[in-house]
Amino acid sequence: MKRNIFIFLLIILFAPAVLFSSTEIKKEQTESIKRVLNKANPENLTRAAEIVNYIDDVYGSLNEQLASDGKFRIYFGPAHGKDHTNRWRGTTTERIGVTGLPEEWYSTIYSRKLYDKLKTNNFIEVCAAPYYRDVLEGKSDSYQYMKFRDVADNAYNSKAFLVIEMHMNNVSVFEKADGLVNMPGIHMIRDSSGRKLLKNITGTYSGYLTLYNKYDASGFSKQYALNIKNSLSSKGYSINNWEYGAVADDRFTYYLLFPVSIIYECGFISHPAEEKKLRDPEYMEEMIATHYDMLIKTIYDVFGMDISGKSLKYNPIDVAHRIELLKLARLTIMYLEKGDVPGANAAVNSMKKYYNPATSDTINYYSAILDR
């Protein structure tokens, strides 16, 4: 009897901590992931197991899913929308074009065109809030504002691979009067207290850019933004000088638990010449075609899957390190949110074994978060 009790105590003391999670991890994990899980506080293991399972389901078995009639799910988030007063936030927050139309007017047109391309692909399924799907399908011209956190939650619940949003850019109200004018000259501006001042504006803001999630440890978001930049630039589109059109943006702190995400900023509707171009059908069609084509290219570049035709073509690429980095990054954030510093530290240290020129930026982001 005493011997049995002794053996039972040994099992409790030395069994992997993940065994005590109320959520079972479905697939065999790497030694690095096992070590990170065993470093964590036991009360966090259920959530950790959910994260690991989600990434395995959505990213780790993508090829198997597509080969068996599964879909590459994309969550399409709305750009701004109407507030509680039923007015467009583009109007109430000065996101309006030279012609006085709000940002949503432009983004709706561009979003519908991209949606029309995405829905024709047999391997892609577009997910969206029901009221916004009606907008994408042309059944409605009105939609409500959805917070970034809600977009991320909805994408997670949809088991989406990627979040996209279609936006237009604008100058700050503190640079030009009411954000309406974007050209050199003497203009009325506002200071931080809202008081009007005259200022000689010598520069202008123009050009497209793509905001990618700097916390996406898989590298997909960054590669997609770079592919868009290279393609649009080669076609003569004006590039914004902020990080030359592919911007690692930290507003995606809202998306920390859903890291693969992109915001298209198609151009400055406050720039007279550019606003005119953005309304041109040919200009619009080519930009949207590029967004779509570069998505297909990035899926092939990163995951080795060609979904451009009616049948799936597969180029074997080792993506195990990308999947592991995604898990470690997500676990790092979750542990820090829970105050589990040992677990977060173990996750970041495991990420560093993949440190190379392609991953250094992302891993440095997580190291900096942990240091703070």
The first and second tokens of residue 48, run together, are: 């950790």
Range with the lowest mean pLDDT among 162-166, 169-173, 228-232, 322-326?
169-173
Q: Measured on CA atoms in the order 160, 161, 167, 173, is the torsion positive or negative?
A: positive
pLDDT of residue 348: 94
pLDDT above 70 (res 257): no
pLDDT above 50 (res 12): no
259 pLDDT tier (thresholds 50, 70, 90):
confident
pLDDT above 50 (res 16): no
Q: How far is CA 280 from the centre of its chain?
A: 28
The first and second tokens of residue 147, run together, are: 């917070």
pLDDT above 70 (res 181): yes
Residues above pLDDT 70, as percent of the chain: 92
Cα 326 to Cα 220: distance, rounded to the nearest angstrom: 10
Cα 60 to Cα 185: distance, rounded to the nearest angstrom: 54
What is the residue-averaged pLDDT of the chain?
89
Predicted model pTM: 0.90
Q: pLDDT tens digits for 320-334?
A: 999 999 999 999 988
Q: Measured on CA atoms in the order 309, 312, 317, 322, is the torsion positive or negative?
A: positive
Q: pLDDT tens digits for 74-117?
A: 999 999 999 999 999 999 988 999 999 999 999 999 999 999 99
pLDDT of residue 19: 43
CA distances from 2 to 7, 15, 252 (A): 9, 20, 56
Cα 26 to Cα 35: distance, rounded to the nearest angstrom: 17
Cα 81 to Cα 108: distance, rounded to the nearest angstrom: 10
